[in-house]
Amino acid sequence: MSDDGPGAREVAYRVFAAEFDDASLSYSESDEERAPNYVVTPTGARVNRLFTAGVLTEVERVNDETRRGRVVDPSGAFVTYAGQYQPEAQTFLERAEPPAFVALTGKARTFEPEDSDRVFTSVRPESLNEVDADTRDRWVVSAAEATLDRLAVFAKALDADLRGDDLRAALEAGGAPAPLAAGIPKALDHYGTTAAYAEAVRRLAVDALEMIAGDRDEVRALEIAPDEGDATAIGPLPETDVTIAEPSATAESKEVAGEDAGSEPEPSPEETDAEPTAESASTAESESTPESASTAESEPPTGSDSTTTDTDSSLDDSTESESTPTADSDPLGDDASDSTGTTDEGDAATDEGGLGDFDAGDGEDASAEFDADGDADATADLDPDADADDMYQLDDEEREEIESEFGTDFATGTEVDEPGEADIDVPDPEELAEEAEDPAAAAEEAAAPGAESDEADSMTADDGETDTDTDAEDVDLEAAAVAAMDDLDDGDGAPREAVVERVADEHGVEPGAVEDAIQDALMSGQCYEPGDGLLKPI
């Protein structure tokens, strides 16, 4: 998932050891400290992380903190180093007893000694686990398929006249994955890969498949260098949808498409810029409309009700018109629209902005009624020169009217009744002494039936949570994830997010647990990643 933005985890690719051992180009696409480093193979595989399964044939102690292991596939050997920063892999190598089938996932690395012109490749381990022979066989099949699919695109690029950035742009425009579109031009420029070498890699992949099928005892070695070999035709390869379009052909096709479009020409930059202007204009209207509505204090409540009715009736229409803008629409709106139409657009924009369950019309009703009834009456008789203390004084007539209507006696804090006149049941000193002598009885009285029901409810909730946790633990998330991949696979692989969502919903588990299960399935060879964000069961 190399193109999902900074911090996104790279796909672990499958390449045969023979081709990976021929790699000598490593690069980073930026100077940032955490920018990923890539190793490009001679046929254009751009590898940051790789996954392999093979036989651990040898473990060597380099020094007190570092162990070196050799993991062999049908074509050659991967070398991996585990030191103090890879404690789990280091411990695994220390305890391993070769030969053993293992699965290795790690970062691709190159190293060129100062006194040598040869570039060595290695894998910095992220995970190292023991597997069985079936897992190794499944990896060989998936690696061969990935190699043949890559060669199908590489062969088209080899026959094309484009190179460098032009070839990369043509590959991306033709549907090639971004990592492959970036890797193939760099491989051709750096290695000068020939058709003879590509044919040798194709033959290696086919030999590996025949070996798994039992039709061959071993794979023929990759004996030529990437830039060597006579002119050779590349053998049969899988069909691919990737195309390589010449820049001139691409321009001509765009012109033809523009002529065929007829009445639907591409929008000009002026029209494109006009659409945001329409949106900003409607936004400005939506912001100014509530203010004008809130200041209409002299309007009666009936006016607000009618506005609310118009708003409710035209809400769907205004929302639909805003969601489907056309190039022919007036970017500045209709100058002849009345104030009600403006209010409708403002309310629609406000509703889209996220009022949730609140109704904009109700808010206007309430504010209009308050403004019309409350504020006008309360502020009509105020004298700006009146003293602040006189503002809160009531004359005798208003006092009697309020007292007769609401039954208030206007008692003050000084009017306190004598002790005992408030009819409050206060315990005698003797009763307090008896309660202090008998704390057990007071505790029994405090334990009301409500407390017992609360305890029962909490016990029931705890039992329910225990049952749920037990059910979640009983689910084989790894098997469920592989089954979901199989159900959601449309040929190119199942979307990783869709697999996580389905397993989480069906078994009621956290997405993080499903992600861990998918990673375990990848490590055990039950599935692989055919592309960015895709999973495919093996």
The 3 state secondary structure assigned to 514-527 is HHHHHHHHHHCCCE
139/442 Cα distance (integer angstroms): 74
Class for domain 12-213, per CATH? mainly beta
pLDDT of residue 123: 96
* Residue 100 pLDDT grade (very low, low, confident, very high; cuts 50, 70, 90): very high
| Amino acid 332: pLDDT | 39
Q: Do domains 12-213 and 475-537 have the same CATH topology?
A: no
CA-CA distance, 231 to 104, in Å (whole number)? 37
Q: Contact at 8 Å (CB) between 153 and 171?
A: yes
Q: Is the pTM of this model over 0.75?
A: no
pLDDT digits (tens, 9 = 90+) for 163-221: 999 999 999 999 999 999 999 999 999 999 999 999 999 999 999 999 999 999 999 99
| Confidence bin at 380 (pLDDT 50/70/90) | very low
Per-residue pLDDT of 102-149, as tens digits, reads 999 999 999 988 888 889 999 999 999 999 999 999 999 999 999 999
Task: Kindly indicate the confidence band of residue 429, based on its pLDDT and cuts at 50, 70 and 90.
Answer: low
Q: What is the pLDDT of residues 210-267, one digit of tens each?
A: 999 999 999 999 999 999 988 889 999 999 999 987 655 444 544 544 455 444 444 4
**Residue 417 pLDDT:** 55
Q: How many C-beta atoms surround the C-beta of residue 175 within 10 A?
A: 13
Residue position matching structure tokens 């980073």: 28
Q: Residues 215, 233: contact at Cβ < 8 Å?
A: no
- Please name the residue that has the structure tokens 């209709």: 334
Q: What is the pLDDT of residue 95?
A: 94
Please write the tens of the pLDDT for every residue from 198-213.
999 999 999 999 999 9
Is residue 203 within 8 Å of 220, Cβ to Cβ? yes
Q: Which residue has the higher pLDDT, 32 or 275?
A: 32
Q: Could you tell me the fold of the domain covering 475-537?
A: Arc Repressor Mutant, subunit A (1.10.10)
Handedness of CA 172, 176, 177, 180 (dihedral sign): negative
What residue spans define the domains of the chain? Answer: 12-213, 269-377, 475-537
1 pLDDT above the threshold of 70: no
Residue 269 has pLDDT above 50, yes or no: no
Where residue 529 falls among pLDDT bands split at 50, 70, 90?
confident
In this prediction, residue 202 carries a pLDDT of 97
The answer, yes or no, to whether residue 342 has pLDDT greater than 60, is no
β-bridge pairing 534-537 and 120-130 = unpaired
Q: Give 346-362 pLDDT, tens digit per residue.
A: 444 444 444 444 444 44
For the chain, what percent of residues have pLDDT higher than 90? 40
Residue 363: pLDDT over 90: no
